[in-house]
Structure 1
Amino acid sequence: MTHLDTRRYWVSTINLEHVLLGVEGGFTQADHGRDTRLRALGRGDLIAFYSPRPSMGSQVTLQQLTALGEIADDEPYQVQMGDDFHPWRRRVAFEEVGRVPIRPLIPMLGFVTDEQRWGLPFRRGLLEVTAGDFGVLAGALRDGVTHAPT
């Protein structure tokens, strides 16, 4: 079995501010720094990032796909960010892509089963999707026009 036969596809819901920190540092975090779901990611898996808001606690709605990358390590690693905060991360090789609104893509996504409540699947934080759904998201990001920072 080749690397491509075992590749999985993911969407991670993270506010834009944290996505940008991850892109700059070449990493992603999930589940408020826990490693549980990060362990499901494998080297070579592809991951798209959806940002419902510009920053944590913001009431401003963003609802954009904001980054795209490939998992570049084999296991989560832990960092120290303060006395009581030691989050787990995965290394990600990010592509240079634009940010694009998610709403026009909703009718094309199989994991969205109720268009009236389209945001529910994204609330899981880290969501595995089919190759077809990922292709829709990745294609939009690769074709997208970069939006001004929020």
Structure 2
Amino acid sequence: MSRRYWIGVACREHVARGVAGGFAQLCHGKAAPLARMAAGDGLVYYSPQDALGSPRRCQAFTAIGSVGAGAPYRVSMDAHFRPWRRDVAFVAAQAAPIRPLLTQLAFITDPARWGYPLRFGQLQISAADFYLIAAAMQAALPATLPPAPAYPLFDESPAP
């Protein structure tokens, strides 16, 4: 299977917890978004706000890394909340505001409504978009992720 690239959406505070713990948690702890990803896939987090429910906007890409081996697993945060997580090897990177990239990202088809594709909490993106975001974040990507292809296709193979 070819490598895929994803954006996960979460507030900056929750992303920081995931980076510190080496895990991703998407869509309020649902298993399905994590199951869509495979070991070696690229993941970048977009944070619309600093903290859940906070009026303070972040609107930046806040973490980047590659999905680890192993299946999603469940953790107990309290008696009523048992979210699903998946291991991720995050790399050193700087937060990068999304607005300067709006006209360059292929998944944004209408810059006036740029937030629309991000509303579901997870989005598959092209390799070209992933590496554009990585460059904006000054990310030190590991050797396990290949260099950016010259063409922006999801399956990373040339068109017939």
CA distance in 1, matches of 2:22, 2:48: 21
Counterpart of 1:92, as a letter, is V
Residue 94 of structure 1: aligned partner: 90
CA distance in 2, matches of 1:64, 1:31: 18
From 120, 142, 145, the counterpart of 2:138? 142
> So what's the TM-score if we normalise by structure 2?
0.84
Residue 81 of structure 1: aligned partner: 77
Residue 116 of structure 1: aligned partner: 112
SS of the aligned residue for 2:8 comes to: strand
Counterpart of 1:93, as a letter, is A
CA distance in 1, matches of 2:127, 2:133: 10
Counterpart of 2:133, as a letter, is L
Deviations 1:50-88 (A, max 9, x none): 101000000111101100010012310000000011100
CA distance in 1, matches of 2:51, 2:9: 12
Are 1:130 and 2:126 an aligned pair?
yes
CA distance in 2, matches of 1:97, 1:33: 24
Q: Which moved more, 1:29-38 or 1:87-96?
A: 29-38
Deviations 1:28-70 (A, max 9, x none): 1011111011100000000011101000000111101100010
SS of the aligned residue for 2:134 comes to: helix
From 27, 31, 37, the counterpart of 1:31? 27
Residue 143 of structure 2: aligned partner: none
Residue 38 of structure 2: aligned partner: 42
Residue 7 of structure 2: aligned partner: 11
Identity of aligned residues (%): 43
Count of paired positions? 139
CA distance in 2, matches of 1:94, 1:69: 4
- After superposing on structure 2, the runs of 4+ consecutive aligned residues of structure 1 that deviate more than 6 Å are none
Q: What residue ranges of structure 1 are gaps of 5+ in the alignment?
A: 144-150
Q: What residue ranges of structure 2 are gaps of 5+ in the alignment?
A: 140-160
Counterpart of 2:47, as a letter, is S
SS of the aligned residue for 2:49 comes to: coil
